[in-house]
Amino acid sequence: MTSADQHGGSEGAATPAGPPPHTRVGRRSATLLVVVAAGVVAGSLLNLVPVQRVIYTPGPVYDTLGEIDGADIITVDPELDSYDDTSGHLYFTTIRLQGGPGDTVTAWEALRGALAPSMTVVPREEVFPEDVTAEQVREQNTELMQHSQDDAAVVALRAEGQEIAERVVVAQVIADAPADGVLEVEDEIVSVAGADVSDTTAVREEIQGVEPGQEVPVTVRRGDEEIELQVPTRRDEETGRTIVGVYLAPVYDNPYDITIDAGNVGGPSAGLMFSLAVYDEITPGSLTGSHAIAGTGTITGAGGVGPIGGITQKMYAAREAGADLFLAPVDNCGEVAEADPRGLTVVPVTTFDDALNVLDEIVDVEPSDFDGLGLPTCEQALEDDAEQTG
């Protein structure tokens, strides 16, 4: 059988040819293909180029009233009254940093981070000193976390009515600072400018009463000896404050053993939430009701709440965890106002007592009714600050 028979035609007759297949690419399609190809090539190249940037991304959140890896985060001394009527959640929030010592950020990762609302990209030198190692960063974060936990326990105990004695020591003297060669690490500060001091806040306040460039009289206990020193000062170019160039640390005479286990999380920014959790454990009643409260902020032994880094990422993490309300340091309000994720009520606080007052107001109120309580806002805090500055 011939091919003509197979197609039902007459033998010897030619089969009509159909239209040729369409193989040409239109101009718009060709342009799109070129753009896509160029984007792929550019992305591949950018992924090979390292940049001196650090990327902040949201990290996990942990309930301070719960556990990490099967271990209670808060353990209270048996000599203290402890209550099991805590409910709700008191989340401390974390961030992840990419681009620190031993870690590389590519130009592509930095570009992607700059376009993501939940991420922040900053120059590396703003976060890490040039020669710092990963091990040094870990050691510093561990030390800061330990100080934060000590401060948090003391704040909660004092709020509950316990008297905790405190001393102030020099933890570090900054190289080439005014105090370099005058003050020494582990010097205990007894008095500043003739005034007895018992906490770090009092030391800083007395130093602020000195004109930059003048010497300030400081009495220290060095070993078994009290020494009177004249410590130089200078003006801090960023803040305009009078500084001597040391880091201070409180040393508490705390008779109670309160353990805070944050796993492998480091840094000082969970201090506020730790102090609230300890207070909730050693006082009757639930501090939160059934609410999920998240927050961040350093804490001092005197109950002051200080600013932290990565507030944007922590708010996003809190929202994803289902938090009803987020406690933020008032000094971070500028960042909060710029990056507040929708659906999260953010309340600025200056002190531990501020945080307690906020929780007391909302404990029996539904989250949908928070707006009617007249809680403080960062917008109002910024307006008040602008009026005072003006």
Does the pLDDT at position 3 exceed 50? no
**Residue 7 confidence (pLDDT):** 39
Residue 301: what residue type? G
By mean pLDDT, which of 7-11, 302-306, 320-324 is the weakest?
Answer: 7-11
Report in angstroms the alpha-carbon separations of 115 from 109, 112, 342.
Answer: 10, 5, 18
Q: Give how far the C-alpha of residue 359 lies from the chain's centroid of Cα atoms, to the nearest Å.
A: 21
Quickly state the pLDDT bin for 84 (edges 50, 70, 90): confident
Which position has the higher pLDDT, 41 or 84? 84
Quickly state the pLDDT bin for 296 (edges 50, 70, 90): very high
Percent residues over pLDDT 90 in the chain: 65
**Residue 1 confidence (pLDDT):** 43
Does the pLDDT at position 335 exceed 60? yes
**Residue 375 confidence (pLDDT):** 95
pLDDT digits (tens, 9 = 90+) for 100-151: 898 889 988 899 999 999 999 999 999 888 888 989 888 888 888 988 999 9
By mean pLDDT, which of 204-218, 321-335, 371-385 is the weakest?
Answer: 371-385
Parallel, antiparallel or unpaired: strands 120-123 and 53-63: antiparallel
Q: CB-based contacts of 286: which residues, under 8 Å, 6+ apart?
A: 85, 86, 87, 88, 280, 363
Report in angstroms the alpha-carbon separations of 359 from 90, 258, 280, 349, 362.
Answer: 11, 23, 11, 11, 5
Q: CB-based contacts of 7: which residues, under 8 Å, 6+ apart?
A: 15
Q: Can you list the pairs that 204-209 forms with residues at least 24 positions away whose Cβ atoms lie under 8 Å?
A: 204/248, 207/233, 207/242, 207/243, 207/244, 208/241, 208/242
Tell me the average pLDDT of the chain: 87
- Average pLDDT on 50-75 reads 93
Are 318 and 390 contacting, i.e. CB atoms less than 8 angstroms apart? Answer: no
Return the axis-axis angle of helices 352-362 and 271-282, rounded to nearest 10°: 60
Does the pLDDT at position 24 exceed 70? no
- Average pLDDT on 195-202 reads 90
**Residue 179 confidence (pLDDT):** 96
**Residue 216 confidence (pLDDT):** 97
By mean pLDDT, which of 24-28, 208-212, 326-330, 360-364 is the weakest?
Answer: 24-28
293: helix, strand or coil: strand
Which position has the higher pLDDT, 154 or 35? 154
Active site residues: 269, 314
In which region does residue 186 sit, left (phi positive, over 0), alpha (psi from -120 to 50) or beta (all else)? Answer: left
**Residue 32 confidence (pLDDT):** 64
Which of 166, 185, 187, 273 has the alpha carbon at shortest distance from 229? Answer: 187
Domains, the chain, in order of start with CATH, read 53-161+255-389 (3.30.230), 165-253 (2.30.42.10)
Quickly state the pLDDT bin for 11 (edges 50, 70, 90): very low
The rounded distance, in Å, linking the Cα atoms of 25 and 79 is 82
Q: What is the pTM of this model?
A: 0.80
